[in-house]
Amino acid sequence: MTRSSSKKPTADLARLGMSASRVAQIIVDENWRVVVASAGAGRLLAREQDEIEGALLEEFVANVEVFAGCTDRECPEDGCFRQLDVNLGNATVAAEAHCERFADADGHMYLNLVLHDASELEARDAMRAARLAKLNLLNQVSEALYGAQLSLPQVLESVLIAMTAGQGLRFNRAFLLLVDERTRRLQGEIAIGPSSRDEADRIWRDLADQPTDLYEMMTSYDTSLKQTDVAVNNIVRELAVDLGDDDHILVRAMHSRRVVHVTEADTGHGLPDVRRWLSVDRFAVAPLATRRGAIGVLIADNAISGLEITELDLEFLQLFANQSANAIESSRLTEELARKVLDLRKAQQKQKEDQQTLLRMERLSVMGETSAIVAHELRNPLVAIGGFARALLRNLPEDDSNRQYAQIITEETSRLERIIHDLLDFIRPQKMMRRNLSPDQVVHEVARKMHPMLQNASVELELDLQAGDTDVNCHPGEIQQVLQNLVFNAVQAQPDGGRIRISSRYLEGGVLIQTADDGPGIATDVADKMFSPFYTTKTAGSGLGLTICAQIIKSHGGVLRGENLSEGGACFSFILPLPKSETENGD
Amino acid sequence: MAKVLIVDDEPHLRLLYETELRRAGYETMTANNADQGLEYVETMGPDLIILDIRMAGMDGIEALQRILDMDNTIPVILNTAYSSYRENYLTWSADAYITKSSDTTELLGKVKELLDAKMVEN
């Protein structure tokens, strides 16, 4: 159809169209008489169209004076809006009129009035405001969820707060269920909401001036509301549906990708269960779906207020669920990434440590082989030098001045021999067999062996052995060597005599052995060096004694510790492990 | 007078042990390698043998086994610079194991102890 094909006069068509229009529209002349009224105007003014046409405007409008001056050619407010009181006979209702002036070919002035029911406008405004507020919150939630790098639990909590907040979706209760890939179930995670009318009244009163900012909401939730969620969280933990149960209302809703509104009339598989869990007949289920697939559902209800869940509620729930799903997924991926980065760092650290250990071991191994050769090649000539120096010393007369020199050679070679002995012991691989034996017995053996030496040094040895029948797994010779070394050091620390105490105690997993003395204790500058090889405070030591002891204890899976006692003196302690089967039984 | 055979390839050590043992009242004979030592065991019938382990040619461990095959009543003291041989079970059949030292007190003590024991047995 083309424009030129129309034969009807244009004015007739315009009049027809306006007359049939559902928009409330009337045209009045300069004398305020209605010339044309639309069907919509008839409905708004509650009269027949032909009853209105020809009548004066003041018959329907109580405050017709608002149009004073509107027909003047010079009216500066052409196109204005006027508030009218429409007279419906027995009542007056508020309306709004959009007022436009025009003239016909003869120059007569007319007003075209488009009328709106003010109450409808208000309802529409309120609806718009509500949508705006919700969109605003949705925007805030979205910004908060994506921008703030929240942890997964924080994201889940924010989602539920926004669903129940007065500024948010205004549901009474909200439940969140997520897919658990491990158990292949849709599992309840977290919920928010009061459990009774009283509790609800109190919360809503408390929240009368709730903050509009999501962060503030979360804070106020943390401090004041959390304790009220116990009941709903008990409910949500019970919610669990097998993912293979395709027909179940919750699984179906999750895969449908559209919000499902359940009312009293609905029936279906799983519904009785969910109704029993929630103790309500009406609720909404929104799927949480991401590009990678369905990850869970949100359930919302008005269990306390009993208010109807509206189309608008459902529309926003759907929008909100989409946002939430992406936020949850994003947070999960971020956490997963963080975990992987951490794992990677740990692996790198481990690799670095392994490399360092390997390097150290290689160095030690080369050092060990070299030392063994050197030590052996030195020992033979030293034995000869020292042996003959002794012979010389023996043969020289008492008053011979050369005796002193022979004495010095003897002492110095002895010292070198001791160093070689320690060095060979230090680098000797520890392959000896261990066995299960009583630690107290080892201590007694050491006490017996060292008795003459202790007596000479005027040192009293006190034994406080309480390991009893407990056996430990150790190499007896090595542990004797450690104890002898510790006792020897303690004797040297008390040149004028004193006391040494050796004690044993049963602990979980091992036996603690301690040697304590009444000497001056460990000097602070010595404490961190005393276990290092070749460190010594003595004029005649190799500096390997404690290093070897520490190595022996380490090879037994323990640590040799040295510390000063509060009452004075030094105390060295170590733990010997129980035989394997015993520790296993102990566990 | 008891005869002690010293087997060591270090001439100064042979001289040292010889000096010390003679001073202690023993008769001594010295061999500078294991083969010579085995020959003396057969021909000169020592009462006790002090045997080094690390020697050029046959080492002390092999020599020990051969001595035991020849006459397992002669006490043998392994006298070595290596304390680690103590872990080698082949050295366990020796009567004593001593790490070489310029202080010969331990060596002389062990010689006396073993010879005294042998005398009691006889």
The pLDDT, as a whole number, for residue A585 is 41
Q: Coil, strand, or helix at residue A116?
A: strand
Q: Which of A380, A390, A391 sits opposite B81 (nearest CB)?
A: A380
Per-residue pLDDT reduced to its tens digit, A279-314: 899 999 999 998 888 999 999 999 888 889 988 889
Range in A133-142, A188-197, A235-244 with the lowest mean pLDDT? A133-142
Q: What is the mean pLDDT of residues B25-40?
A: 96
Query: Confidence band (pLDDT; 50, 70, 90) for A558?
Result: confident
The pLDDT, as a whole number, for residue A500 is 94
Please name the helix (run of DSSP H) or strand (run of DSSP E) that holds residue A434, with its range, or none.
none
Domains of chain B listed by start with CATH number: 3-113 (3.40.50.2300)
Residue of A nearest to B101 (CA): A383
Q: What is the mean pLDDT of residues A451-464?
A: 88
Amino acid (1-letter code) at residue B60: G
Size of interface A-B (CB pairs under 8 A): 60
Distance separating alpha carbons of residues A66 and A404, to the nearest angstrom = 136
Amino acid (1-letter code) at residue A334: T
Distance separating alpha carbons of residues A70 and A86, to the nearest angstrom = 18
Per-residue pLDDT reduced to its tens digit, A223-234: 545 556 777 888
- List of residues 6+ apart from A545 with CB closer than 8 A: A422, A485, A488, A489, A536
The pLDDT, as a whole number, for residue A8 is 61
Comparing CA positions, the residue from A501, A510, A489 lying closest to residue A447 is A501
Query: Confidence band (pLDDT; 50, 70, 90) for A212?
Result: low
CA atoms lying within 13 Å on the CB side of residue A461: 28
Q: Which of B99, B102, B104 sits opposite A413 (nearest CB)?
A: B102
Q: What is the mean pLDDT of residues A111-135?
A: 84
DSSP β-bridge partners for residue A242: A185
Backbone angles phi, psi at A527, to 5 degrees: -50, -45
Whether A369 shows a pLDDT value over 80: the answer reads no
How are strands ordered across the β-sheet holding A80-87?
A34-37, A24-29, A109-117, A92-103, A80-87
Whether A356 shows a pLDDT value over 50: the answer reads yes
- List of residues 6+ apart from A388 with CB closer than 8 A: B12, B16
Query: Do B19 and A389 make contact, defined as CB atoms within 8 angstroms?
Result: no
Q: What is the mean pLDDT of residues A175-201?
A: 86
Distance separating alpha carbons of residues A408 and A390, to the nearest angstrom = 10
Residue of B nearest to A427 (CA): B84
The pLDDT, as a whole number, for residue A400 is 92
- The answer to whether A388 faces chain B, any CB pair under 8 Å, is yes
The pLDDT, as a whole number, for residue B28 is 97
Residue of A nearest to B80 (CA): A380
Rounded to the nearest 10 degrees, what angle do helices A118-147 and A152-164 cross at? Answer: 170
* CATH for A10-120, options being 3.30.450.20, 2.40.160.10, 3.40.640.10, 3.40.50.300: 3.30.450.20
Query: Do B104 and A388 make contact, defined as CB atoms within 8 angstroms?
Result: no
Q: Which of A372, A414, A425 sits opposite B102 (nearest CB)?
A: A414
Neighbour-count burial of A214, counting CB atoms closer than 10 A to its CB (0-12 exposed, 13-18 middle, 19+ buried): buried
Q: Where are the domains of chain A?
A: 10-120, 148-334, 354-429, 435-586
Q: Which two tokens stand for residue B36?
A: 């010579």
Whether A552 shows a pLDDT value over 60: the answer reads yes
Q: What is the mean pLDDT of residues A25-31?
A: 90
Helices (H), A116-174: 118-147, 152-164
Query: Do A148-334 and A435-586 have matching folds?
Result: no
Range in A72-81, A230-239, A312-321, B19-28 with the lowest mean pLDDT? A72-81
Q: Which residues of B touch A432 (CB under 8 A)?
A: 87
Which residue would you say has higher pLDDT here, A176 or A432? A176
Q: Coil, strand, or helix at residue A159?
A: helix
Among A215-219, A340-344, A522-526, top mean pLDDT goes to A340-344
The pLDDT, as a whole number, for residue B107 is 95
Contact A511, A472 (CB under 8 A): yes
Tell me the CATH number for domain A354-429: 1.10.287
Q: Which of A381, A383, A391 sits opposite B19 (nearest CB)?
A: A391
A interface test, pick of B82, B99, B102, B103 with most A CB neighbours within 10 Å: B102
Q: How far is A478 from chain B (nearest CA, A)?
A: 13
Tell me the CATH number for domain A148-334: 3.30.450.40
Geometric angle at alpha carbon B15, from B14 and B16, rounded to 5° = 90
Q: Which of A380, A390, A425 sits opposite B100 (nearest CB)?
A: A380
The pLDDT, as a whole number, for residue B54 is 86
Range in A49-53, A111-115, A130-134, B35-39 with the lowest mean pLDDT? A130-134
Query: Confidence band (pLDDT; 50, 70, 90) for A540?
Result: very low
Per-residue pLDDT reduced to its tens digit, A372-426: 777 778 888 999 999 999 999 999 999 998 999 999 999 899 888 888 887 776 6
CA-based Rg of chain A, rounded to a whole angstrom?
A: 49
The pLDDT, as a whole number, for residue A283 is 94
Contact A87, A61 (CB under 8 A): yes
Q: Which of B10, B83, B84 sits opposite A380 (nearest CB)?
A: B10
Residue of A nearest to B104 (CA): A387
Query: Confidence band (pLDDT; 50, 70, 90) for A477?
Result: confident
Query: Do A383 and B100 make contact, defined as CB atoms within 8 angstroms?
Result: yes
**Above pLDDT 90, what percent of chain A?**
21
**Above pLDDT 70, what percent of chain B?**
92
Q: In the predicted model, what is the mean pLDDT of chain A?
A: 82
Query: Do B54 and A381 make contact, defined as CB atoms within 8 angstroms?
Result: no
The pLDDT, as a whole number, for residue A10 is 80
Whether A7 shows a pLDDT value over 60: the answer reads no
Contact B48, B5 (CB under 8 A): yes
Whether B41 shows a pLDDT value over 90: the answer reads yes
Residue of A nearest to B8 (CA): A380
Tell me the CATH number for domain A435-586: 3.30.565.10
Whether A583 shows a pLDDT value over 70: the answer reads no
Query: Do A421 and B54 make contact, defined as CB atoms within 8 angstroms?
Result: no
The pLDDT, as a whole number, for residue A502 is 95
The pLDDT, as a whole number, for residue A587 is 34
- The answer to whether A366 faces chain B, any CB pair under 8 Å, is no
Range in A13-27, A137-151, A368-382 with the lowest mean pLDDT? A137-151
Comparing CA positions, the residue from B65, B3, B12, B74 lying closest to residue B34 is B65
Whether A147 shows a pLDDT value over 80: the answer reads no
Q: Which residues of B touch A391 (CB under 8 A)?
A: 16, 19-20
